[in-house]
Structure 1
Amino acid sequence: MWKPNLPMFDGDEEHDENLLGESDGLFSLSPLQRIYGFAASLVAGLVCMLLSLIVFAKPIKFAIIFSFGNLLAVGSTAFLIGPGQQLRMMLDPVRIYATVIYIGSVVLALICALWFHNKILTLLAMITEICALIWYGLSYIPFARRLVSELFISCCDTDIN
């Protein structure tokens, strides 16, 4: 098979796949660097989301900080599996509804904060967003959604026998 003679950064060596299945390239990270990137991005995202509650009375500041925190938190898994794989997994039939509800509630929270300046609707959109994010996260744990659903139903069951 003909192979073009292009200059490579590492000589003529083939690029190996790392532990997480991503091919090493110009922007490759070691597994430890990926874990650090994941943890730092997730913690920074959660801190931004919590800090956004401090400026909740100022809708524009709130929307910017909250949106940035969400991007950091959701994007943190891209350090572990890569952005392409993360996008494919978000669009999986198992996760598509949670993904759409999550993205929709982020957009709705921004619209309620920036356009309508309605704090109650913004708070409801945030709660919906957090619930959708939790539901999305549970889709990665086998049988977790079923367990949480059954637990929630049993807690809300008001049938007295």
Structure 2
Amino acid sequence: MSHTAFLIGPKRQVTMMLDPVRIYATAIYIASIIIALFCAVYVRNKLLTLLAIVLEFGALIWYSASYIPFARAMVSKLMLACFDTEF
């Protein structure tokens, strides 16, 4: 996110992050960064840190996909196909 803020400016980046399409992904991404740091530094639990990093990566993908038309639908269908339990 800081790279795009450098390219388009911090004010426009914050405005885009608070867009209704991206607000939840932004909140989850920022919260997962804080949780991962907390788990790594204070709790020192590797499993919780890893789970927070996986959540962070997923939120970043979801946030990035919001800029590409139909990318969120594609990611959703891909996840459903990967984790479908029916044969």
TM range (shorter): over 0.9
Equivalent residue, structure 1, for 2:74: 147
The Cα of 1:148 is off from its aligned counterpart by 1.2
**TM superposition score normalised by structure 1:** 0.52
Looking at structure 1, the residues matched to 55 and 65 of structure 2 have their Cα atoms a distance apart, in angstroms, of 15
Equivalent residue, structure 2, for 1:128: 55
Tell me whether 1:76 sits opposite 2:76 in the alignment. Answer: no
Deviations 1:47-92 (A, max 9, x none): xxxxxxxxxxxxxxxxxxxxxxxxxxx2000122110000010011
Q: Quick one: percent identity of the two aligned structures?
A: 61
Tell me whether 1:117 sits opposite 2:64 in the alignment. Answer: no
Equivalent residue, structure 2, for 1:101: 28
Per the alignment, in what secondary structure is the counterpart of residue 19 of structure 2?
coil
In structure 2, stretches of 5+ residues that fail to align are none
Aligned pairs, how many?
Answer: 87
Structure with max Cα Rg: 1
The Cα of 1:119 is off from its aligned counterpart by 1.2
Looking at structure 1, the residues matched to 82 and 49 of structure 2 have their Cα atoms a distance apart, in angstroms, of 27
**TM superposition score normalised by structure 2:** 0.92
Looking at structure 2, the residues matched to 120 and 159 of structure 1 have their Cα atoms a distance apart, in angstroms, of 29
The Cα of 1:120 is off from its aligned counterpart by 1.1
1:1-161 equivalent positions in 2, closer than 5 A: 74-160=1-87
The Cα of 1:155 is off from its aligned counterpart by 2.8
The Cα of 1:152 is off from its aligned counterpart by 1.6
RMSD: 1.1
| Structure 1 residue ranges (4+ consecutive) displaced by more than 2 angstroms after TM superposition | 154-160
The Cα of 1:154 is off from its aligned counterpart by 2.4
Looking at structure 2, the residues matched to 103 and 156 of structure 1 have their Cα atoms a distance apart, in angstroms, of 26
